[in-house]
Chain A
Amino acid sequence: MPNMQRINRESTPPVSAPRNTLSARPRFSRENVTKALFVVPAAVFTVLFFGYPVVKNITMSLQDYTTKTFFTGEAPWVGIKNYATIFGSNLFTPALLNTALFTLGSIAGQFVIGLALATFFKRRFPLSNFLRSMLLLPWLLPLIVGSATWRSILDQDSGILNRSLEGLGVIHDPIPWLTSPAVALSAVILVNIWVGIPFNVTIIYGGLQDIPEELYEAAALDGATGWKAFRNITWPNLRPVVSVVLVLGVVYTLKVLDIILGLTNGGPANATQTLAVRSYQESFINFQFGSGAAYSNVLILISLIFAIIYLRANRRAVDE
């Protein structure tokens, strides 16, 4: 008999099984509560630390939110006035353009150098592990320390970079790294590339480790080594990692603030103003929290677009 029963149960069509469970069990069964408990912490966390700030930021951008608000709690509703102010500002278009150039330049530089270094460190050689861990240094250094150091390196008159270039005969007149509006953005991008390399190397190096060695061995037998091996084996296998690195890189770079504040504070003559810097200065220098929130909402919107691109790319990868 027990045998029979088991066979019977197993022979019931699988489709009806879930429905049976649902109707048979009460709504607040132990199982459902347990399921809910798995979701609740994540949901509470998301609502508290992502939902609330985003909603608050949006409402703040529609209010006249100033120093007074902190004491009186009154923030008069002003509709889209803050957005009109920031879009009408002379600094909005340059800041948007600088944000785009800064992001593109930084990502391109970080990624190419990161990929080259990761490929290089894939080979084992004496001290390779030690050198690879040294690469993480910019990551471990507080950004404010890093930018202060770079500020002295890039000093026009006595900075070590200009002195070295002059000594080597590469340049004759010192380059005004941080003091010319034409050069400052490039200099800031340069420093941000330095900051971003460890992240790129680490992730890409991890991705390279996942590519089976046999592929290279088989390809080598067919005569594909060096550049050919990279193009036909490394690059296609690395694609999912590359998409993660690029999209996260974009989102991280869009919001970079401390490096620019430390190096130029948005100057010279507003040449390194980005949306993040504008948002910071409006909120915490001018105490116009409404306009500051409006700037950061624009920034959030741009990040969101890239986040969606990332999610879609990922979903496609999973489907494949």
Chain B
Amino acid sequence: MGTKSKMRSFLAVAGVASLALTACSGGGSGSTAGSNSGGDVKTLTVLDSYNNDPDKSILQASIDKCAAQVGVTIDRTTVPGKDRMQTVLQRSSSRTLPDVLMLDNPEVKDVASTGALSALGDYNVDTTAFAGNSLDAVTQDGKVYGAPVPADTLGLFYNKDLLAAAGVEPPKTWDELKAAAAKLTKGDQYGLALSAAATYEGSWQFLPFMWTNGGDETNLDTPQVKEALQLYVDLVNSGSVSKSVINWTQADVKDQFVAGKAAMMINGPWQIPALEASPNVKWDSVQIPINKAGQTPTAPLGGMVWTVPMTGDKAKMAKAAEFVQCTGSKDSQMSLGKARHTVPVRADLHEEYVKEVPTMKTFTQQVENARARTGKLGKDWPKAATTIYTAVQLALTGKASVQDAFAQAAKG
């Protein structure tokens, strides 16, 4: 092999490499090439973030049912939840978005505003059966961009044995909460556990108190919001809540509760399987306590949403919409809700659902009154969420007074 032929093969390799690079950088401008592959759609690609069992296989069963109903096979990819948005962004710039995409509900408006999602109304998907609060998170400029899967929210779990031993009733008001938490704090055991971490998880846990008291994310510098923060500060300063909560995730909170180190906790129904796995902890749940008589416990609405990305393939997009329509059906919502301890987002199912899953009674009521995080602020929600968790951290560490915490946090 002479130098000449070596040179030639080198050039060939270099040529291929540069071609590959141009192919990679192809994404970016212009609209997608609409390659209509005809009405005969056989497979749909699906991307979701239920990457661990049991959720992964539970969702698979639900997907398979709808796939059979609309007559397609499914090519499913799962990514970890924290990588979801990065994957979506990468795939939208390389024009490889899946036919059906699962997003977390606060992400929908942001992604829809980029133009990457198609409105379900364009395919005559009927979304009227969904509860209004669940649609708030997925409606942008009057158009609905996603079909919510059964939802979750936050409530107050309590350890029945510990409360009975201390002669404490599950608290219904903030005063009762403070008194109960103080009474339940002794030795190694704290009265209450919650997450006040420097993440969106911390903001999400603060919302039930803030919203129940009439606070609003459009203006955080109000007495209603500050009263909720004062409650946090009182609970931590009195020693009823560990100072470590500013570093606890909701999983840590659950661990503390299961270990008997917290008599009550703020957490969501997705922890129920873990709680049921430790039968020595007898637990029940109530709604978030209210501050004053007449208030309604209002927690944030959590849960995923099925969307139909703009892939450019019209036939596939129509088929994907059919699939998404199916996931909103009574049957699909009911079976997925039962399997995952999540509440169907159709009011017409709640009575039957509570009958079949009695442990979800509190959370079903809580979901009915829950609020979507992006309902008012849309894609500006992350900024408010950052301000909220920062303010909570400033106040709990004594870096700012309750009065100043939100103003200081907002300066970022």
Contact = CB atoms under 8 A, between A and B. Distances in A.
B378 to A, nearest CB: 12
Contacts of B89: 67, 70, 287
A91 B394 CA distance: 13
A232 interface: no
B246 interface: yes
B131 interface: no
Nearest to A265: B198
B111 A67 contact: yes
A48 B85 CA distance: 26
Contacts of A284: 85-86
A33 B7 contact: yes
B114 A268 contact: no
A249 to B, nearest CB: 27
B197 interface: yes
B52 interface: no
Contact of B397 (A44, A74, A157, A180): A180
Nearest to B393: A269
A269 B399 CA distance: 7
B30 interface: yes
Contact of A268 (B27, B85, B90, B246): B246
A155 B249 CA distance: 13
B93 A179 contact: no
Contacts of B93: 69-71, 73
A286 B397 contact: no
Interface in B182-200: 188, 197-200
Interface centre among A71, A91, A285 (most CB of B within 10 A): A71
Contacts of B28: 73
Contacts, number: 109
Interface string A28-55: 0010011001000000100010000000
A268 B116 contact: no
A89 to B, nearest CB: 6
Contact of B242 (A157, A268, A269, A287): A157
Interface in A89-115: 89-91
A156 B111 contact: no
B3 A268 contact: no
Nearest to A156: B244
Given A68-B114, A286-B382, A286-B383, A30 B198 contact: no
Interface in B130-164: none
A102 to B, nearest CB: 17
Contacts of A138: none
User: Which range holds the interface residue count of chain B?
Assistant: 35 or more
Interface in A251-293: 264-271, 284-287
Contacts of B393: 267-270
Contact of B412 (A73, A90, A176, A264): A90
A38 to B, nearest CB: 12
A157 B246 CA distance: 13
A158 interface: yes
Contacts of B90: 70
Given A30-B3, A265-B197, A284-B86, A151 B114 contact: no
A207 interface: no
A73 B197 contact: no
A176 B245 CA distance: 12
A155 B411 CA distance: 30
B390 A269 contact: yes
Interface in B360-403: 379, 382-383, 386, 390, 393-394, 396-397, 399-400
Interface in B78-122: 85-86, 89-90, 92-93, 110-111, 113-116
Nearest to B91: A70
Contact of A90 (B14, B27, B411): B411
A36 to B, nearest CB: 10
Contacts of B30: 73
Contact of B199 (A91, A265, A270): A265
Contacts of B386: 285-286
A151 B198 contact: no
Contacts of A157: 188, 242, 244, 261
Contacts of B399: 181, 269
A72 B246 CA distance: 39
A178 interface: yes
A49 B208 CA distance: 47
A269 B114 contact: no
Given A30-B3, A33-B3, A287-B85, A71 B114 contact: yes
A157 B199 CA distance: 22
A180 B394 CA distance: 11
B350 interface: no
A285 B382 CA distance: 8
Interface string A102-139: 00000000000000000000000000000000000000
Contacts of A71: 92-93, 114-116
B205 to A, nearest CB: 14
Interface string A167-185: 0000000001011110000
Contacts of B382: 285-287
B10 interface: yes
Interface in A69-94: 69-74, 89-91
Contact of B247 (A37, A151, A158, A270): A151
Contacts of B242: 156-157
A178 B301 CA distance: 30
Contact of B198 (A67, A68, A91, A266): A266
B7 A268 contact: no
A155 B177 CA distance: 25
A266 B21 CA distance: 37
Contacts of B110: 67, 287
Given A67-B379, A70-B90, A179-B397, 10 more contacts: A33-B7, A70-B89, A72-B115, A73-B93, A156-B242, A156-B243, A158-B261, A179-B246, A267-B246, A269-B396
8 contacts: A72-B115, A90-B408, A151-B247, A181-B399, A267-B393, A269-B390, A270-B198, A286-B382
Interface of A: 30, 33-34, 37, 44, 48, 67-74, 89-91, 151, 155-158, 176, 178-181, 264-271, 284-287
Interface of B: 3, 7, 10, 14, 17, 21, 27-30, 85-86, 89-90, 92-93, 110-111, 113-116, 188, 197-200, 242-244, 246-247, 261, 379, 382-383, 386, 390, 393-394, 396-397, 399-400, 408, 411-412
